[in-house]
Amino acid sequence: MGNGLRVSAEGATGTNGLAKATLEKATLGGGCFWCLEAVFERLPGVTNVVSGYAGGNTDKPTYRAVCSGTTGHAEVIQLEFNPAVISFEKLLEVFWQSHDPTTLNRQGPDVGTQYRSVIFYHSPEQRAAAEQSKDKANLGLFGGGVVTDIVPLKQFHMAEDYHQDYFRKHPEQPYCQVMIVPKLLKLDKQRNAQGPGK
């Protein structure tokens, strides 16, 4: 599936030029970006995850400004993935499982429009896949009430350095222990039950 933003990378067969993997990008918001980053960076086929901001009306947003709720931005992650290893549709399955898309502008104790559930699509193909996946999740996992926005990505702003790889650097932090560790354990249990595959 194309997404309009492709990055060439060496394939699994080596550097002889016979096999190239084409990386694609996805941009997702589902509460605190520390949580989503910790979830998605563990997935096979995901090559990079960056925490940042999207969907706002100001240039060069800061964490303080975004948290004020006045810039219109959502906390998001932007990830690069190899669709030969993990599909965009599979990423969306993990996305639904990793947050509550039925709570408007809220994830647990985090409240505000910056914590909204949102899929920023990079192409018409991603939009179609996101809408189909949302409908499936709405009827299946959640039984209605999904409030996730599906909107085009206009601009992604990388968050400050101290937000990047936050869980990996600070696993002992109380927020990480309370909010992220249980989520990772739950997802690991689900993944083991489902077995390998795209």
Q: Which are the catalytic amino acids? A: 32
The stretches of the chain forming alpha helices (DSSP H) are 33-40, 63-67, 88-97, 124-139, 166-169, 174-175, 181-194
C-alpha to C-alpha distance for 63 and 144, rounded to whole angstroms? 32
Asked if residue 39 lies in contact with residue 86, where contact means CB atoms within 8 angstroms, the answer is: no
DSSP assignments along 31-42, one per residue = S-HHHHHHHHTT
The encoded tokens of residue 107 equal 């994830």
Measured on CA atoms in the order 110, 116, 117, 120, is the torsion positive or negative?
negative
Measured on CA atoms in the order 167, 172, 178, 183, is the torsion positive or negative?
positive
